Structure 1
Amino acid sequence: MVESHFQIFSVEWDHVQSAFTVTIWILVASVAKILFHVNKKFGDALPDSACLIVVGLGVGYFLTKLNVDKSIFQLDSTSFFLYLLPPIIFDAGYFMPNRQLFDNLDSVMLFAFVGTIFNTLAIASTLYIFGIWGYFSVQFNLFEILLFSSLISAVDPVAVIAVFEEIHINEFLFINVFGEALFNDGAAVVLYFMFKKFNYIGAHNLITSDYVAGGVSFIFIALGGIFIGLFFAGICSFVTKYTDPVKILAPVLIFAFPYLAYLTAEMFGVSAIFAIIACGVAMKEYVKGNITHEANTSVKYLTKLLALSAETVIFMFLGLSTISSSHKWDTYFVVITIISCFIYRTLGVIIQCTILNQFRTKQFTSVDQFVLSYGGLRGAIAFGLAVSMPEMIAAKSMFVTTTITVIFFTVFIQGITIRPLLNWLNVEKADERQITLVENIYNRYFDYTMTGIEDVAGQRGKNSIRQMYERINAKVLKPILMKSYEKRIFDASQIVRAYKKITLQEAMEVIKQGQIPPLPSTPIKTPTQKQEFNFETQKCENSNSVPTASIEMDALYQMFSQLLDRKVEEIRGAYKNEQTVAMEQSDVDIADDYIEMMRPTHFLSSPDLTIHPLPKTENFHRQQSHPNVSSKIAKF
């Protein structure tokens, strides 16, 4: 278009239409979530994913009335897999509670892999048989229905997290449902692409070796993705070790390497979801020790922001597609799919829990099995896979319509009713009591004791495996991947981190109150033997080679005494340097994993870390020998 006159002001809507629309979507969804949560009546009744779907429906209806170009309503496979899916999966992996995951790894992996395969094959068989009997309006072949069954078996971890965080479910159930939902997505996507390749080849061209290769590829794709994720996690941890001169780059690296792992896995045809999960789970422990507290806080907030934005866009697309897209409704297909999803998930959970209960100390009760069955919410992953199906599939419109209906059913019906059902069943809730420092230490002692019992019994269980990993971690991995970390056999970093949390909180409280405690008296020495505790190496040195229980307890008291003495000096330093503002800012931090987020009283959101002396009625070993030390033991 040629302009005859110079225009001072012009509107270039076509140039910014797509970016402007997406930004408005995110803003509208954010404001809507705020309004939903301000209004307790709606916020408590509807899960977050349901709120986003409602907003998407409203925006879709509004844009349709304005005759906005419908091409912006279409979610293509490239945008979904390369830009929207990675932040959601990385968020779930980075905030995965590692200890709880590995303690329940057997059940999580069984649910995620065996359960997903069982559900996919069972749903596909049922729908295929009904299709042969002529119940459906659109015909499909075996691999097309297997493709649909694999995507409809993908449980949405975001929807599960949102619901279970709100009701504060116990850790055992949470990690099994959340872990299964996360790894289930990886398994479902692997199956999705395998059946997609089979469909491209065509059933008449496939031979026996192709089916064998497909089965082998399932294992190869999953393990290949995990290997790539661990490789990039190691590189990221090692590189962040040297970011002190340019601290601002640390968060950039923490996001770049997992995304690079995801893209590399996509490039080599292995599971990108498993790659970014493995990268997030493995790198968290090391990068936290290599970056500053401010950088770590920035990483956690930005991770949540990206995941929320991606989830918002996907659910907005879901709402928009419901209003604007052309649908193929088949009542029989929709109803049979919903019933099959519910029945086969319940049946699979019962069978797998029955098998697991034969080998586990912690049993899955009937209530636990109901929660596992009822918690299979579908969401963004299933919808993204559905709209990414090839256009050559004649039944795609029917598959997409059914997927949207299943998502609506699970999010609105199951998501809304799960809270009253769990309350009615009196499901065990998460322990909101804060663990004391003494409990944390003696839990570690208990782990070592169980490892010793397994060695004596000649059995290698999860305690022995965990202890072997911790030794390798302390002697090899941490010295390589973390800065200022010396090679050691015993790793007391958890105790030191707990002490640092206590230091920060108590310094803030003391400065607020304007009270600086007096310097402590001379360090305590035991009446029988002098103990020297090396704070940097976490080793107790004494003159005798054979320690006794009494001497070890004295060394423990000596350690606490020196830790708390240092804390007092740090309080004075913080007071002199006027660091009150930085301390107050840590109050609004995000917890390190989803288990801590479920605790209303966790340290960073609702701190209660003031020092409490042990009750006089407790029979604590050698309490009378060191009264001034025992009174300092803090909660964290």
Structure 2
Amino acid sequence: MSIRTEQDYDSATPALQREMNLARRACWRINSFSSEYLFKTIASVLTDTDAEAPPPPPPRDETKSRIGPQTAPANRNTSCTSSNWRGMFSKRTLLICALALILGIAQARPNMSAVGVAPGKVSQDIVDAVTQLNLGHSAPMDAVDVGVDPTPPATLPRAEPLKSVDQDAEGGEGHKMERYPLSSVDFARVKTPFIIGIWILSASIAKIGFHMTPKLHLIFPESCLLIVVGVVIGVVLYFCTDVAVSPLTPNTFFFYMLPPIILDAGYFMPNRLFFDNLGTILLMAVVGTIFNIATIGGSLYACGKMGIYGESETPGLMDVFLFASLISAVDPVAVLAVFEEIHVNEILYIVVFGESLLNDAVTVVMYHMMESYNEIGLDKIIAQDIASGVGSFFVVALGGTAIGIIWGFLTGLVTRFTDHVRVIEPIFIFVMAYLAYLNAEIFHMSGILAITFCGITMKNYVESNISQKSHTTVKYALKMLSSSAETIIFMFLGVATVNNMHVWNTWFVVLTIAFCSVFRVIGVILLSALANRFRLHKLSRVDQFVMSYGGLRGAVAFALVLLVDENVVKQKNMFVTTTIAVIYFTVFLQGITIKPLVKILNVKRANKRKPTMNERIHERFMDHLMAGIEDIVGKTGNYNVRDKFKRFDNRFIRPLLIRDLKEINELHILDHIPMQSYERALNKNRRASASNADEKSRRQRRSSSISSRMNPLRNLNDKI
């Protein structure tokens, strides 16, 4: 006899439930009839099978049907009284109900089929027990007219015998029980993040090997190595695996990769140089970018009208200018990656890098403007659309800058009250700067400008509130995040290059590279000549050459071209292929050759030496002197503006944002001096003075003790 399981009992549960429901229905219907009519009906059925049917009950509604009894039991003695028959029938009914209740309690189990357990087969003995509760006794009761429609008697399905657990395991049917394993492998669950982690690990190891090889480090920039590693990984994934991962999507780049790089650049930017050269930076970023878009787009469209690209691949006017708007801007990530390795002087670095930051507003506005014009149609553009596009530039640029400054002030206000919880100070800097970037993106403003000016503002106010340990944490965490994001960007750029969606048009690629290089040189020469008319330190020809040659394109252009709608712009795949070719040309050719050219042209390098205290004092003295001279002659210049802002800052802003203002030396947004270095030097001098005083006192005590010891000997000598 095999052992039954819970599944076997579960299969009998529905049949038992139906039997119990029928028994309850019979009991209820019996009580509903009058006792006299019920007694006569039962007595007539039991006493005489040949007798006529009992008289019908009182008249009912004609719409209700009547059904007579289907079976008649054998002849019995009818000498019993009405009360005895009534009691006998009640006992039989109660016996049936009790038997059904006992069987339901004894064999009912929770129904496991609702949670996915396959029901087993019913054994023969359970079927026999259930079929004993047949409807033979209750069928006459159902035949009584109780005002319901007639239904055929319910029949129980014939179930198959039960199978034991051993038989089920042997047959392989149903659920097969598995024992707890010692170990298991599930690579498919972590396949994609595991491969991405392997990419990052490979790029980090490649960077270590790159810096351990002096010859490679002196010839190739780091960005070139990362792109090569990404291409190799992309080829392996394309031909050897079935992993379908699009690593460098626009959302991934703009929301997760770009903010740490720009925050690091803005937080540690030399603010004095940035604001001193702000006019030249704005001239290159705004006027220079618009000049490049107009000249590159117009030249490519003119070549297309000449039929150079082919009839099927000639883009329209708005399509060409859409492509020109994303390929004309200098990329901040590529500029940082190359210029930090060649170590040019601070003015060249801040002009090129500042241009790459501030031209984001022009790029965003021109890109969305051309995209909108392309959807509207060239023949349907009106003057209002052009005016809205021009006005949106000021909204995007000034709005992004204002959002960044406001979040910087809020960060300074929050860190004013963190003197008792120093451990959470760095998180405010990271999170609130990131929220400034996202807040600007919500309103379609420049997120790069927002996080840049947020970093500049936080540097000058938050750093006075946080501790030295928090400052060190912020410094190295930002460097780590920006370096990691830069590594991932260039490596993913190489991985995304390997696909089968490229459309190569040789003339379009070659002409795009040529126009980008030529018009970059022309724009820098013209705008530098204009800027030198108002600059005290002129931009030399060598500086202009480095600025022209350093106009690199990178991942920003690639992310923007991926956002192009293929349904609107039919040549999207050709634009993507051309963008990758331009990025590779600027990063590889210009990035590799710019370092030897800087050496050949003898470009002034950056000076890593920190200014001395004497130099800082003379610099401050000259600032106040020049501000006074400008005020006397009635000219509102750079020094006068800086002096007025300093007065406003010291009177209103700094008392609100800085906790211990009396203990902090002057520090303002346009002339940042690392006062913590002064504090450390002052503490060091104090400790040195204290140690000197202690040493002097020890010497005095030692000399006094020696003289006191020598006094008895002197007295003895005098006596002798």
TM norm structure 2: 0.68
Which among 402, 407, 431 is matched to residue 583 of structure 2?
Answer: 407
Aligned residue for 2:307, secondary structure, equals coil
Residue in structure 2 matched with residue 466 of structure 1 by the alignment: 642
Partner in structure 2 of residue 629 of structure 1: none
**Superimposed CA distance per residue, residues 301-359 of structure 1 (whole angstroms, 9 cap, x where no aligned partner):** 22222222222222222111222342111110111000100111111101101111111
CA distance in 1, matches of 2:345, 2:571: 42
Q: Distance in 2 between matches of 1:386 and 1:94?
A: 29
Q: Establish whether residue 152 from structure 1 lines up as the match of residue 322 from structure 2.
A: no
1:506-517 mapped onto 2 (5 Å cutoff): 516-517=691-692
The offset of 1:377, in angstroms, is 1.1
Q: Distance in 2 between matches of 1:505 and 1:471?
A: 31
Q: 1:157 to 1:285 in 2, by over 3 A?
A: same
For the residues of structure 2 that align with 1:146 and 1:521, how far apart are their CA atoms?
78
- Give the 3-state SS of the residue equivalent to 2:589 in structure 1: helix
Equivalent of 1:85 in 258, 269, 283: 258
Instruction: Answer yes or no: is 1:321 the counterpart of 2:500.
Output: no
Aligned pair partner of 2:563 in 362, 383, 388: 388
Q: What residue number does 2:178 align with?
A: 5
Alpha-carbon distance in structure 2 between the residues aligned to 1:488 and 1:165: 32
Shift of 1:414: 0.6
Structure with the larger RCO, 1 or 2 (CA within 8 Å, 6+ apart): 1
Rounded to whole Å, the distance in 2 between the matches of 1:264 and 1:435 is 38
Alignment-derived partner of residue 229 in structure 2: 55
Pick from 191, 196, 213 the counterpart of residue 22 of structure 1.
Answer: 196
Query: Retained in 2: the 8 A contact 1:475–1:488?
Result: no
Contact 1:53 1:318 in 2 (8 A): yes
In the alignment, what sits opposite 2:443? 268
For the pair 1:110 / 2:283, whether they are aligned, the reply is yes
Answer yes or no: is 1:307 the counterpart of 2:472. no
Aligned pairs for 1:432-443 within 5 A: 432-443=608-619
Q: Are residues 519 and 459 of structure 1, via their aligned partners in 2, closer, same or farther at CA, if it must alter by over 3 Å? A: farther
Which residues in structure 2 correspond to 1:571-610 (within 5 Å)? Answer: none
- Structure 2 unaligned spans of 5+: 1-115, 117-174, 698-720
Local SS of the residue matching 1:25: helix
Match of 1:500 among 679, 683, 708: 679
Matches within 5 A, 1:222-301: 222-301=397-476
Distance (Å, rounded) in 2 between the aligned partners of 1:136 and 1:372: 31
Would you say the 8 A contact 1:88–1:310 is kept in 2? yes
One-letter amino acid of the structure 1 residue matched with residue 655 of structure 2:
P
CA distance in 2, matches of 1:4, 1:197: 62
CA distance in 2, matches of 1:11, 1:191: 51
Q: 1:494 deviation in Å?
A: 4.3
Aligned position for 1:620 = none
Aligned to 2:217: 43
Displacement, 1:154? 2.3
User: What displacement does 1:520 show?
Assistant: 9.7
The structural deviation recorded for 1:99 is 0.7
Equivalent position SS for 1:517:
helix
Q: Which amino acid aligns with 2:622?
A: F
CA distance 1:75–1:449, change in 2 (3 Å): same
Name the amino acid aligned to 2:213. Answer: N
Q: Are residue 31 (structure 1) and residue 210 (structure 2) matched?
A: no
In structure 1, the residue matched to 2:13 is none
Deviates more, 1:429-438 or 1:4-13: 4-13
Using the size of structure 1 for normalisation, the TM-score is 0.77
SS in 1 for 2:300: helix
Q: CA deviation at 1:477?
A: 1.2
- 1:221 maps to which of 385, 389, 396: 396
- Using a 3 Å threshold, how does the CA distance of structure 1 residues 495 and 370 change in structure 2: closer, same or farther? closer
Distance in 2 between residues matched to 1:225 and 1:197, nearest whole Å = 21
Q: Is the 8 A contact 2:263 2:452 kept in 1?
A: yes
Map of 1:69 onto structure 2: 243
What is the Cα deviation at residue 189 of structure 1?
Answer: 2.5
Change (3 A) 1:323 1:446: same
Pick which of 82-91 and 489-498 moved more.
Answer: 489-498
* Unpaired runs of at least 5, structure 1: 523-636
Deviates more, 1:312-321 or 1:11-20: 11-20
C-alpha distance after superposition, 1:363-417 (max 9, x if no partner)? 1111111111001111121222122222322111111111111111111111111
Q: Deviations over 1:104-146 (max 9, x none)?
A: 0000111111111111111111111111221114132222222
CA distance in 1, matches of 2:608, 2:485: 31
Aligned partner of 2:370 in structure 1 is 195
State which of 607, 616, 635 in structure 2 corresponds to 1:431. Answer: 607
Deviation digits for residues 592-631 of structure 1 (CA, Å, limit 9, x no counterpart):
xxxxxxxxxxxxxxxxxxxxxxxxxxxxxxxxxxxxxxxx
Letter in 2 for 1:451: A
- Cα displacement (A) at 1:8: 4.5
| RMSD between superposed Cα atoms in Å | 2.6
The 2-side partners of 1:9 and 1:388 are apart by 45
Secondary structure at the aligned position of 1:347 is classed as: helix
Whole-Å separation in 1 of the counterparts to 2:387 and 2:452: 27
Aligned position for 1:365: 540
Cα distance in 2 for residues equivalent to 1:319 and 1:212 = 40
What SS does the aligned partner of 2:185 have?
A: coil
Secondary structure of 2:421's counterpart equals: helix
**Amino acid corresponding to residue 220 of structure 1 in structure 2:** V
Aligned-residue offset at 1:185 = 3.0
Per-residue CA deviation, residues 403-462 of structure 1 (Å, 9 max, x unaligned), is 111111111111111111111111111234442111111111111111111111111100
How has the CA–CA distance of structure 1 residues 146 and 491 changed in structure 2, closer, same or farther, with 3 Å as cutoff? closer
Cα displacement string for residues 498-540 of structure 1 (whole angstroms, at most 9, x for unaligned residues): 42243577899x89xxx95345999xxxxxxxxxxxxxxxxxx
Matches of 2:360 and 2:684, distance apart in 1 = 39
